[in-house]
Every structure is written in structure tokens, then in C-alpha cells.
């Protein structure tokens, strides 16, 4: 039997008439310019966009997918996710969930969990993710490669392997006997030589980028450690994503010249100016306030407890809004990241992961800027700006279709009805769509 490369085999199996596909749609959005093309045609072959625009000729013999009155957009890119975690609110927050996940699932089962979470992301229109740690020992790399090789269907993954961190990683209190669990999830570094070694080890383990936890509780990496991490990664053309939530941590991350500050709940104006000058992205992992209470708070709250939770979430939301508004005003570029890793009742992982887009819009970003954060900006941040983020000739054929007008309300993105990744149709719920 001839040996077929897995990716080719997958392509043949998923699209039996594996030639040219032409998508037809009422509208096509270019996130770069904000321009809408009406009566759009997108011609796709071998996973790549060959032509896109109005009046593009459809090659004879092409399979035509007529999507009707939808808007086509590039596949969405989530720059901050954790596919190999799915915490339960009922277990009581991050600390018990992390201990349980690492101690009871192990990497093998977490990879299988990642298959399910990735599939849900993809079906919601998230065609690429940057998976930033909490993946056990090499689970993210295994899943990335399995998807790339066509063993399983999922989003394209940019993987970090284990995050670098100060002592303890992001675990809550662990007894001394249980502390070996930490190294399954984090590489603890202390001093510049350990930091340097950890970066090289991550690349040996298959990392596409480095994720570093600048602050975790009162434990904060030093500027010298951060500079070595950034230098060591940049020297070989790789990027650094920095979890930083406090004033001192965001300042250290900006000074060290990381590529993105993740969360950045508290950032002073001068650190934001530094980020703007150095082209450092902010990845705001913000959610609408009600989400924290309705989806994640313990069940069975009294009315008074519910109101107290909601008031706390609203205060946090106002704080996050203030720093996002200042960041944009000072010229910091924004890329979308969900930081979704909880089982959210009533929503798939993908549906829950799109809620931050709504939060950005609530915070005053224009719908077009929100869409840019999840397409062109995200593609640029992950180093795929030449292949992803817009629908134009030469780019990978990652395309979604939505009803309604996403330039009026980004919540339209929460209802993708057609998803294509690498030229393969993942879902198509558009009534009356024809394949010929
Ligand atoms: Zn995270």
C-alpha cells in the first residue's frame, strides 16, 4: 500500500473533490482597511487563497459554496488560551482546580481534553490559537503536531510548552511532598543562568514562543532575569509573552522588551508609553462583568451574595476598562486573548472564548478595532502576519462567515455559521448553500 502523508490523506478524506473551491458571499470584510466588498468571491486551492474580491472569475470545475447574505471575515486568532485545562467552577477557583488537573489527569488525558477544546474553538470560528502554558509535559506540542499532521481536527496551534516562573509557578499552597507537581506545569527559574537554560530547554521541547509568568503572588522575576529571557528568545527569532498583572511586573516586562503583556490589569501611563514605543502588544483578557457571576461564581448564592459578587465584578470591569482606554489612547496595539480555561455552562469552549470581544466593545473599542485585535493584530503578534489575518491572495484559507453586521456589533462573531481552515470546510450551517 502506498504511504500517504497524513495531511494529504486528511485532505482527500475531507474534500473528495479536492480541486478548487469558490466561496460566494454578499459581503467580505478587510480588517486592515475596514472596507466591505459586496458580491464577493474567494477562490481557494490547496489551502491557500488564490483570489478574493468582487467580480473574481470562478475557474471552471470549481466547487461553488454559495453562502448568500453573510459577511466573510478571516478566521479568528485567540492569542491567549489553555486548551489542556477545563476547570470546574464548583471545585472552587484556580488553586484546587490546578492541583486536581495536574495530579489526576496527567499529560496524556489532557491532550485528549485539548482535542475536544480545540474542536470547539474551531467550530466557533477560532482557527488559530496561541496556547500559553498549563499543558503538562509537552502536551501542547503533541496536540499542535497532531493537528498539523491531520491526525485530529483543530485550530492551528502556536505553543509555548511550560511557562517560566518564580518559585511555585501559579500553584496555590502545596505541601512540600506535593511540590514535585510544580515542574509538570512550570519551569521554576532563579537567576539569569537558570532563566537562560529554561529558554533553551523550551525550544528543545518544541516551543514556538516563550511564556513567562513575571509575577505570581508576591514572587516577581527580576529585570535581569527577564532581559536574559527576552534576549535568548529574540536571538533565535522567537517571541516572549509575559503574564504580568501588577504595576511592577508590567513595568519589568515592558523594560525587558517582551512582545506582549498578557492581562496587564494594572499598568501605569509611562509603562504604556514604553509599550507603544517598543511595539509591545497588550493582550487584555477581559470579560463582561456579568460573566464572572453568572458563569463562574459558586451555585446557590443568596440574592445578597449574588449582588456582592456582581458589584465586585463591576468594579474590576471598570478598572480594566480604564487601563484599556489609556492603552489605546497612548498608542498601544491590542491583540485578542481569551484566557478561557473554565467549563462555562451553556457555552462551548469556543463560544465562551469569544466573550472578551464583547467586553472590548463594551469598553469603548470600535467593532472594527475589536475585529482587528482578533485578526490582523493577532496575526502580527504571533508572527504569522504574512499568512493569516486577512482574506487576500497568498494567505492561508482560514475564513468564517457570520450573519448580521459585525461592524455594528461584534456579537455577530459569536454566531459563526461557516468555518474554513486551511481550505477545508469545518462547518457550514448556511441554509441553501450549494456544493457543485
Ligand atoms: Zn492564561
Q: What is the Å distance from ligand 1's center to 74 Cα? A: 24
Q: How far is CA 98 from CA 136, 170, 172, 263, 292, in A?
A: 11, 9, 8, 19, 19
Q: What is the Å distance from ligand 1's center to 389 Cα? A: 22
Q: What is the Å distance from ligand 1's center to 87 Cα? A: 12
Is residue 1 scored above 50 in pLDDT? no
Q: What is the Å distance from ligand 1's center to 69 Cα? A: 36
Q: What is the Å distance from ligand 1's center to 216 Cα? A: 12
Q: Which residue shows C-alpha cell 514604553?
A: 274
Q: What is the Å distance from ligand 1's center to 113 Cα? A: 17
Q: What is the Å distance from ligand 1's center to 243 Cα? A: 7
Question: What average pLDDT does this structure show over 330-355?
Answer: 96
Q: What is the Å distance from ligand 1's center to 183 Cα? A: 17
pLDDT in tens, 119-151: 999 999 999 999 999 999 999 999 999 999 999
- Gap between the terminal Cα atoms of the chain: 31
Is residue 13 scored above 60 in pLDDT? no
Q: How far is CA 56 from CA 50, 59, 370, 391, in A?
A: 10, 9, 28, 13
Q: Which residue shows C-alpha cell 530547554?
A: 201
Strand order in the sheet with 209-213: 186-188, 163-165, 209-213, 239-244, 260-263, 281-283
Q: What is the Å distance from ligand 1's center to 79 Cα? A: 10
Q: What is the Å distance from ligand 1's center to 213 Cα? A: 10
Q: What is the Å distance from ligand 1's center to 134 Cα? A: 8
Q: What is the Å distance from ligand 1's center to 262 Cα? A: 8
Q: The pTM is what?
A: 0.94
Is residue 295 scored above 90 in pLDDT? no
Q: For the chain, how long is the longest CA-to-CA vector? A: 68
pLDDT in tens, 375-416: 999 999 999 999 999 999 999 999 999 999 999 999 999 999
Q: What is the Å distance from ligand 1's center to 159 Cα? A: 13
C-alpha cell at 35: 472596507
pLDDT (0 to 100) of residue 284 = 98
Q: In sequence order, which ranges of 52-204 are alpha helices (DSSP H)?
A: 94-100, 106-123, 139-148, 182-185, 192-204
Q: What is the Å distance from ligand 1's center to 210 Cα? A: 13
| C-alpha radius of gyration, the chain, whole number | 22
Q: What is the Å distance from ligand 1's center to 37 Cα? A: 36
Q: What is the Å distance from ligand 1's center to 302 Cα? A: 30
Q: What is the Å distance from ligand 1's center to 133 Cα? A: 7
Instruction: Answer for the pair 250, 267: CB distance below 8 angstroms, yes or no.
Output: yes
Q: For residue 72, give the nearest of 299, 375, 316, 380 by alpha carbon.
A: 375
Separation of alpha carbons 187 and 165, rounded Å: 6
Question: What average pLDDT does this structure show over 77-101?
Answer: 95
Number of H helices, E strands in the chain: 15, 19
Q: What is the Å distance from ligand 1's center to 12 Cα? A: 36
pLDDT in tens, 212-236: 999 999 999 999 999 999 999 999 9
**Which string of b and e fits 92-125 if b means at least 16 CB within 10 Å?**
eeeeebbbebbeebebeebbebbbebbbbbbbbb
pLDDT in tens, 167-218: 999 999 999 999 999 999 999 999 999 999 999 999 999 999 999 999 999 9
Question: What average pLDDT does this structure show over 21-48?
Answer: 97
pLDDT (0 to 100) of residue 105 = 95
Q: What is the Å distance from ligand 1's center to 286 Cα? A: 11
Nearby residues for ligand 1 (ion, Cβ within 5 Å): 339
Q: What is the Å distance from ligand 1's center to 256 Cα? A: 20
For the chain, the average pLDDT equals 94
Taking each helix axis from N to C terminus, what angle separates 106-123 and 139-148, rounded to the nearest 10 degrees?
50
Separation of alpha carbons 306 and 297, rounded Å: 9
Q: What is the Å distance from ligand 1's center to 401 Cα? A: 28
Burial class (CB in 10 A: 0-12, 13-18, 19+), 302: exposed
Separation of alpha carbons 394 and 402, rounded Å: 23
Q: For residue 21, give the nearest of 431, 429, 428, 432 by alpha carbon.
A: 428
Q: What is the Å distance from ligand 1's center to 6 Cα? A: 32
Strand partners, 262: 243, 283
Q: What is the Å distance from ligand 1's center to 164 Cα? A: 13
Report which secondary-structure segment, H or E, holds 320.
Answer: helix 303-329
DSSP string, 206-229: T-SEEEEESEETTEE--HHHHHHH
Amino acid at each position: 500500500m502506498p504511504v500517504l502523508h497524513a495531511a494529504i490523506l486528511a485532505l482527500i478524506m475531507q474534500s473528495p473533490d479536492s480541486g478548487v473551491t469558490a466561496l460566494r458571499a454578499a459581503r467580505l470584510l478587510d480588517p486592515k482597511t475596514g472596507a466591505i466588498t459586496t458580491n464577493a468571491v474567494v477562490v481557494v486551492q490547496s489551502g491557500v487563497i488564490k483570489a478574493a474580491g468582487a467580480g473574481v472569475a470562478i475557474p471552471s470545475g470549481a466547487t461553488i459554496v454559495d453562502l448568500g447574505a453573510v459577511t466573510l471575515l478571516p478566521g479568528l486568532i485567540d492569542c491567549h488560551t489553555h486548551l489542556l485545562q477545563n476547570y470546574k467552577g464548583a471545585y472552587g477557583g484556580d488553586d484546587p482546580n490546578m492541583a486536581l488537573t495536574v495530579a489526576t489527569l496527567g499529560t496524556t488525558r489532557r491532550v485528549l481534553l485539548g482535542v475536544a477544546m480545540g474542536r470547539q474553538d474551531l467550530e466557533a470560528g477560532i482557527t488559530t490559537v496561541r496556547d500559553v502554558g498549563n499543558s503538562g509535559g509537552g502536551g501542547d506540542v503533541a496536540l499542535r503536531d497532531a493537528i498539523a499532521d491531520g491526525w485530529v481536527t483543530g485550530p492551528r496551534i502556536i505553543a509555548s510548552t511550560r511557562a517560566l516562573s518564580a518559585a511555585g509557578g501559579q500553584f496555590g499552597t502545596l505541601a512540600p511532598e506535593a511540590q514535585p507537581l510544580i515542574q509538570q506545569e512550570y519551569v521554576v527559574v532563579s537567576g539569569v543562568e537558570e532563566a537562560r537554560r529554561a529558554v533553551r530547554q523550551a525550544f528543545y521541547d518544541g516551543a514556538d514562543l516563550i511564556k513567562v509568568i513575571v509575577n505570581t503572588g508576591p514572587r516577581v522575576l527580576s529585570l535581569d532575569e527577564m532581559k536574559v529571557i527576552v534576549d535568548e528568545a529574540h536571538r533565535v527569532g522567537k517571541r516572549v509573552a509575559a503574564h504580568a498583572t501588577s504595576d511592577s511586573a508590567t513595568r519589568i516586562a515592558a523594560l525587558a522588551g517582551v512582545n506582549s503583556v498578557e492581562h496587564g490589569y494594572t499598568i501605569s501611563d509611562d509603562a504604556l508609553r514604553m509599550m507603544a514605543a517598543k511595539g509591545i502588544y497588550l493582550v487584555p483578557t477581559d470579560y463582561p462583568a456579568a460573566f464572572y457571576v453568572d458563569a463562574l461564581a459558586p451555585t446557590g448564592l443568596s440574592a445578597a451574595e449574588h449582588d456582592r459578587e456582581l458589584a465586585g465584578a463591576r468594579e474590576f470591569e471598570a478598572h480594566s476598562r480604564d487601563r484599556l482606554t489609556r492603552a489605546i489612547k497612548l498608542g498601544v496595539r491590542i491583540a485578542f486573548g481569551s484566557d478561557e480555561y473554565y467549563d462555562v455552562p451553556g457555552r462551548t469552549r469556543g463560544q465562551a472564548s469569544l466573550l472578551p470581544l464583547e467586553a472590548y466593545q463594551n469598553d469603548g473599542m470600535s467593532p472594527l478595532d475589536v475585529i482587528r485585535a482578533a485578526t490582523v493584530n493577532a496575526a502580527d503578534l504571533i508572527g504569522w502576519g504574512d499568512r493569516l489575518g486577512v482574506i487576500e491572495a497568498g494567505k492561508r484559507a482560514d475564513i468564517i462567515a457570520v450573519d448580521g453586521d459585525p461592524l455594528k456589533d461584534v456579537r455577530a462573531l459569536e454566531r459563526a455559521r461557516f468555518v474554513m481552515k486551511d481550505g477545508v470546510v469545518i462547518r457550514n450551517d448556511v441554509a441553501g448553500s450549494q456544493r457543485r
